[in-house]
Amino acid sequence: MSEEAIERVTVLGAGTMGHGIAQICAVAGYEVVMRDVAQAALDKGIAGITKSLDKFVSKERLSADQRASALSRIKTTESLEDAVRDADLVVEAIPERMSLKLETFRAVDAHAPAHALLATNTSSLSVTEIAGATGRPAQVVGLHFFNPVPIMKLLEIVRGLRCDDATIERAKAFASSVGKEPIVVNDWPGFATSRLGIILGCEAIRMVEQGVASPADIDKAMELGYRHPMGPLKLTDLVGLDVRLAIMEHLYAELGDQFRPPTLLRQMVRAGKLGRKSGEGFYTY
């Protein structure tokens, strides 16, 4: 039964990640249901999808027909029960709070078909713990997409302790079907991506603190010396200093001292310097 083909995908959350995931699934031909807790969030998600699809059409990477049929494949609802009732795959992209994820997975498990795969887009929380909220932990997997979802090629597949091989194979096939390049990582705090990305950001902030070089020169070091498309401090400004601090706190608690958040970062967050979204971080916008 767990081998059943995926035709219908339900995305929980219509925010930054959720609407992007809904979009790529619809473009790939899946029937999509997007669920959020408020109609306004669903409307905003659909507006985001429409704007992004328009951009693809104007760049001739999608035809007007493909745009229209992708949009026609996306339904929205505020009801969790309606959203997951016929799903073959549920992808959760709700806020990064364990209590909220556990409550949601309990409800999804109760209403989704027995064959359905359940996935979480968490960037740092334990997939094993989330899977434990369901009666089907072997069919629960991390599908960690990157922002902006329609552009970024990577899909980090996270294997929880009780996840089975069939689930990983289905996840890999799904990744290819939506045009993503998968990597498979065992469930360990920070997986492969967040763990390395955070340590680089953390060390760059310590270097600013120690007066080693200016933020612009530290970023240039990585961009020109190591071919990173964006230096670690620019990236921290983009993601949000508060968001990065929260992930560092989590990894510090789980993995130890190398992730201890620099005092400078704490001070900047206290001062409301959150990066691009507040107009100031390591740079001024």
Contacts to ligand NAD by CB under 6 A: 12-18, 35-38, 41, 93-96, 104, 121-123, 146-147
Nearer to ligand NAD, 148 or 272 (CB): 148
Q: CB-hemisphere CA count at 13 Å for 47?
A: 7
Smallest gap from Cβ 213 to ligand NAD, in A, equals: 27
Smallest gap from Cβ 35 to ligand NAD, in A, equals: 5
Nearer to ligand NAD, 49 or 93 (CB): 93
Nearer to ligand NAD, 43 or 203 (CB): 43
Smallest gap from Cβ 98 to ligand NAD, in A, equals: 10
Closest by Cα among 234, 202, 200, 238 to 217: 234
Smallest gap from Cβ 123 to ligand NAD, in A, equals: 4
Nearer to ligand NAD, 120 or 167 (CB): 120
Per DSSP, 43 falls in state H
Q: Which amino acid is residue 96, in one-letter code? A: E
Under a CB-based contact definition with an 8 Å cutoff, are residues 136 and 111 in contact? Answer: no
Closest by Cα among 266, 15, 10, 7 to 147: 15
Under a CB-based contact definition with an 8 Å cutoff, are residues 167 and 117 in contact? Answer: yes
For residues 266, 260, 254 and 144, what is the CA-based torsion angle, rounded to 10 degrees?
A: 60
**Residue of minimal Cβ distance to ligand NAD:** 15
Smallest gap from Cβ 38 to ligand NAD, in A, equals: 6
Q: Which amino acid is residue 100, in one-letter code? A: L
Nearer to ligand NAD, 94 or 171 (CB): 94
Smallest gap from Cβ 141 to ligand NAD, in A, equals: 14
Contacts of 210 (CB under 8 A, 6+ apart): none
Characterize 165-200 residue by residue with b for buried, 16 or more Cβ atoms within 10 angstroms of its Cβ, and e for exposed.
eebbebbbebbeebebebebbebebbbbbbbebbbb
CA distance 35 to 274: 29
CA distance 100 to 79: 16
| DSSP string for residues in 77-108 | ES-HHHHHTT-SEEEE---S-HHHHHHHHHHH
Q: Which amino acid is residue 213, in one-letter code? A: A
Smallest gap from Cβ 225 to ligand NAD, in A, equals: 26
Smallest gap from Cβ 143 to ligand NAD, in A, equals: 10
